[in-house]
Amino acid sequence: MKSLQGLGVALITPFNEDGTIDFPSLENLVNYNVDNGVDYLVVLGTTAETATLNSDEKKQVIEVIKKSNNKRLPLVLGIGGNNTVEVTKQIIDSDLEDFAAVLSVSPYYNKPTQEGIYQHFKTIAIQSPVPIIVYNVPGRTGSNMEAATTLRLANEVSNIIAIKEASPNYLQSTDIIKDKPFDFLVISGDDEFALPMTLAGGSGVISVLGQGMPEMVSKMIHFGQNKQVEESYKIHYDLHSLFRLIFKEGNPAGIKALLSVKGICKPYTRLPLIPASKSLISSIEKELEKISVLS
C-alpha cells in the first residue's frame, strides 16, 4: 500500500493542566504535520496515551483529527489488546470508513507463544474490514514476535499488509525485509532505526519525533527511500540527540516537552505518566537551538 510508505507519525493527545483534552492544540498539531511533509497520521497509538482515554474521549479525538485532516493524508487507527475476541469486536464495531488500516499491537502481559501470536493476528485480520498493520514492540508487551511469525503472517494472511517493527534487535528487521513478500511493508517503530531500516529496504517509519520535527524527519526518510545516503545521514545525525532526549523520561513526556517548546501544545500528561522535568525541557531547548543554527 503506497499511501503508507514514508513518514507516518504517532500523534499525541494534548492535555490542559486540569487533565482535559486540549482539542485546539490537537487541531494545530494535525495541521502542522500535514503542512510539513508527513505522509500519514496514526491515531490513538501508544503515544496518544490511549490507555488513559475513555471511550467518549477516543471518539472525540478521532472526530477532531478526521475533521482537521479533511482527507488530506491517509489515517491509521490503533486498535489492539490482549483479548483477541474483544479486539476483534472493537475493530468490527468501529467506523473505519476514513481509515486506510488498523495498527494492532502484539498481545501484551499474557506472553503468548509464537503460535498464539499468529492465531491472534489471523483471527483479527480475517474479520477486519480494513487491512491490518501488526505491531511488535517487545519492550512494552513483554514478548517478541519473531521474524518467522511475521513472515508466516505476511505470506498466509492477505489482509495483513505491514509490520511496525520496534524490536531492539535490528537483525530481526533485516531478516523480515530479506524474505518478505514484495508488497509487504516493514515500517520502523523506532526513530533511531528509521533511516538504516529504510535504506535496508524498509518502508519508512511510524515516528514519535516526526510530529515535532516533520520537515526534517520527512526529508530524512524520503532521501533514504531514494538511496541518497549522505543527505539522509546528515539529517539523521543532526537529529541524533533529539532521538534520545525525547525518550529519556518516557514517551510521550519527551515529545510533549518538545512540542511545548515549539508552542504547539502544552507539556501535560495523564497519570501514571508525568510531564518532563525542567532539566529535560532545557536540554531539548538547547538542542533545538543548535539544530536551527545547523539548518
Q: Is 135 a catalytic residue?
A: yes
Which one from 118, 135, 180, 256 is the annotated catalytic residue?
A: 135
Handedness of CA 193, 216, 260, 25 (dihedral sign): negative
User: How far is the C-alpha of 58 from the C-alpha of 77, rounded, in Å?
Assistant: 11
Any idea of the CA torsion for 121, 127, 129, 133, to the nearest 10 degrees? 0
Which entry of 122, 164, 180, 256 is annotated as an active-site residue? 164
Amino acid letter at 7?
L
Counted residue by residue, the chain has a size of 295
Q: State how far the Cα of 21 lies from the Cα of 57, in Å rounded to an integer.
A: 8
Task: Copy the grid coordinates of residue 154.
Answer: 505476511
- Judged by DSSP in three states, 1 sits in coil
Give the three-class secondary structure for 28. helix
Give the start-end residues of each E strand in the chain.
Answer: 6-10, 40-43, 75-78, 101-105, 132-136, 160-165, 185-188, 204-207
170 among known catalytic residues = no
CB 187 within 8 A of CB 8: yes
Q: β-strand 6-10 against 101-105: which pairing, if any?
A: unpaired
**Collapsed DSSP state (helix, strand, coil) of residue 261:** helix
Nine-digit cell string for 167: 524490536
Active site residues: 135, 164
